[in-house]
Amino acid sequence: MKSYVILISGRGSNMQSLIDAKLPGRCAAVISNRPEAAGLAWAAERGVPTVVVDHKAFPDRDAFDAALAAEIERHGPDLVLLAGFMRVLGRAFVERFEGRMLNIHPSLLPAFPGLHTHRSVLEAGIRIHGCTVHFVTASLDSGPVVVQAAVPVLQDDSESALAARVLAQEHIVYPQAARWFLEDRLSLVQGRVMLAGETSGNGTALRSPQG
């Protein structure tokens, strides 16, 4: 059976959606960079091993990245899932897990990378917003897109109302992307996302290396 680890920094609502989805694999651990992260208690109550690698305990980002990578490798996961993990990871870390690390971002990338996406969308007067699951690369929020979900921006939307509408879609598409990967349907080949059974523009079925 394949396994995965989830990285969190807070309450971990996307972590909860991933675990509740009963993915075709074992959650080997939930790892947080913050000992007070509320998601740790939620995971522990469900029998999922939890670990803290506190970034404040390390002198710099490289040292933290090395310790975090070693902890992940200790669990031997096939897939690493970032779920509200609020640390920028360095190039060496990202390259170590290239092709097997996914992230969920609350915008329709490449639009609105970084933080405060809902506020930025409202300020810009954008009418369509959403979320993106992507493979993680060394460039922030710039990895190859796996799947996206769109929601309308309503005229009387507040930042919190819009965020809630997007989050509901995150809880759908992130487990789906993880499921594709764990079922050997999703892969990253020379920087391009390949999904088994997907049809390209010329009608050709795209397949992952596993078939």
Residue 121 lies in a domain: no
pLDDT in tens, 108-118: 999 999 999 99
d(CA 130, CA 161): 13
pLDDT in tens, 45-83: 999 999 999 999 999 999 999 999 999 999 999 999 999
Residue 157 lies in a domain: no
CATH number at residue 139: 3.40.50.170
Residue 8 lies in a domain: yes
Residue 120 lies in a domain: no
Number of domains in the chain: 1
**Computed over its alpha carbons, how large is the radius of gyration of the chain?**
17
Domain around 68: 3-105+131-146+176-206
Report the percent of the chain where pLDDT is more than 70.
93
Residues marked active site are found at: 105
> Model's pTM, two decimal places?
0.93
Name the residue type at position 201: G
Number of residues that make up the chain: 211
Residue 140 lies in a domain: yes
d(CA 188, CA 143): 10
